[in-house]
């Protein structure tokens, strides 16, 4: 996988919320929904004492191959009493994200990035078959918001017509089923992860996204297709190759982006799951799949890796390190599976 695919995959959820959608009509569960769309879906059983639940690594796309729920996931979802996504996908939450993605006052993105970069943006929209009105509407977007949206251009007509991505579809089904629903983060918290960068850095990330898409075109490849295929494989090692790619071309910016968009958020997500995993309700958490594993460079040094993790769980929560971070120090590059085990949960892949 290439260097900016990691950033694209992490920003898909926010990008999916940036598209104003028509009211969605509830469709019956597709006939293929219980077919195994993944060799082994990214689904874990989570338990601590009498409290149990499931952790599902999702992809934030409306592609029918993503929304065709594998049978193991369907059974886990139906058995749950409470459902939590990364953020609520309610109209109010979506409006909050869309508002935060707009430039202040009378600023325009085409003037910020300059005519050369904006010409490349317009060419992307034209290649995707989108009318000129889309380009005019995107002049109001912040650079990071446009960069998140560009890889998803082919999905914009469907999403504007009300077709939800996987996370939103599950959230809506949970609401209709009368489950307790909520988000692990607020829209403001998720947007804050993007706002730690300067405007110049955001413009650079946008240019990196355009460069990456151009390279894919030159090689006859499709970025979103490769992203979806990696997720559908159900192969954690293959997913980890995404984490080995970076965020653009500047090493220091890559490190900061990974920390802001992934590693720090992982700790917050693990804390929120820990807070909600109480009582006798069965909880179902749907979080982007890249939040699940540790970084490849972290795996060989993480005490919870492989057999050591299983031994730690057998010995009990007291044997598991907490990975506390001193003030001003970078957070370890750990995924939710490891972080939840550190909090005393048994986390086992459903096989």
- Give 64's pLDDT tier (boundaries 50, 70, 90): very high
**Model confidence pLDDT, tens digit, residues 148-169:** 888 888 888 888 788 899 999 9
pLDDT, greater one: 248 or 86: 86
**Helix count (H) and strand count (E) of the chain?**
19, 6
**Model confidence pLDDT, tens digit, residues 112-123:** 999 999 999 999
- Give 106's pLDDT tier (boundaries 50, 70, 90): confident
Q: Would you state the pLDDT for residue 303?
A: 43
CA–CA distances in Å: residue 240 to residues 181, 189, 235, 262, 263: 30, 25, 9, 13, 14
Strand ranges across the sheet with 282-288: 180-183, 82-85, 282-288, 51-58, 43-48, 346-349
**Model confidence pLDDT, tens digit, residues 193-234:** 888 889 999 999 899 889 988 998 999 998 888 888 889 988
The predicted model gives 44-52 an average pLDDT of: 95
Rounded to whole angstroms, the Cα distance separating 29 from 67 reads 9
**Model confidence pLDDT, tens digit, residues 260-306:** 888 999 999 999 999 999 988 999 999 999 899 998 776 544 444 33
pTM of the predicted model as reported, rounded to 2 decimal places: 0.83
């Amino acid at each position: 996988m290439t260097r900016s695919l990691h950033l694209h995959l992490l920003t898909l959820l926010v990008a999916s919320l940036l598209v104003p959608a028509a009211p969605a009509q509830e469709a019956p569960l597709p006939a293929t929904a219980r077919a195994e769309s993944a060799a082994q879906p990214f689904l874990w059983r989570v338990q601590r004492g009498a409290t149990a639940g499931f952790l599902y690594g999702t992809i934030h796309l409306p592609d029918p191959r993503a929304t065709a729920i594998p049978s193991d996931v369907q059974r886990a979802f139906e058995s749950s009493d409470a459902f939590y996504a990364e953020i609520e996908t309610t109209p109010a939450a979506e409006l909050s994200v869309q508002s935060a993605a707009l430039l202040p006052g009378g600023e325009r993105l085409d003037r910020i990035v300059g005519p050369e970069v904006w010409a490349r943006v317009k060419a992307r929209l034209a290649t995707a078959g989108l009318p000129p009105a889309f380009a005019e509407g995107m002049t109001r977007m912040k650079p990071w918001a446009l960069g998140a949206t560009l890889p998803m251009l082919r999905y914009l007509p469907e999403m504007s017509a009300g077709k939800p991505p996987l996370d939103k579809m599950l959230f809506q089904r949970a609401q209709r089923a009368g489950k307790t629903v909520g988000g692990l983060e607020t829209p403001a918290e998720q947007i804050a992860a993007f706002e730690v960068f300067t405007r110049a850095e955001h413009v650079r990330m946008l240019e990196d996204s355009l460069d990456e898409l151009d390279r894919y075109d030159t090689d006859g490849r499709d970025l979103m297709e490769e992203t979806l295929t990696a997720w559908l494989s159900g192969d954690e090692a293959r997913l980890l190759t995404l984490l080995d790619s970076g965020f653009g071309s500047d090493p220091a910016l890559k490190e900061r982006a990974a920390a802001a968009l992934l590693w720090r958020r992982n700790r917050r997500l693990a804390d929120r799951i820990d807070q909600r995993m109480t009582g006798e309700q069965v909880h179902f958490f749907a979080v982007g799949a890249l939040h699940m594993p540790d970084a490849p460079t972290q795996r060989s040094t993480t005490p919870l890796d492989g057999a050591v993790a299983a031994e730690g769980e057998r010995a009990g929560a007291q044997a598991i390190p907490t990975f506390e971070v001193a003030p001003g120090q970078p957070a370890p590059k750990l995924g939710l599976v490891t972080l939840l085990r550190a909090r005393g949960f048994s986390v086992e892949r459903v096989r």
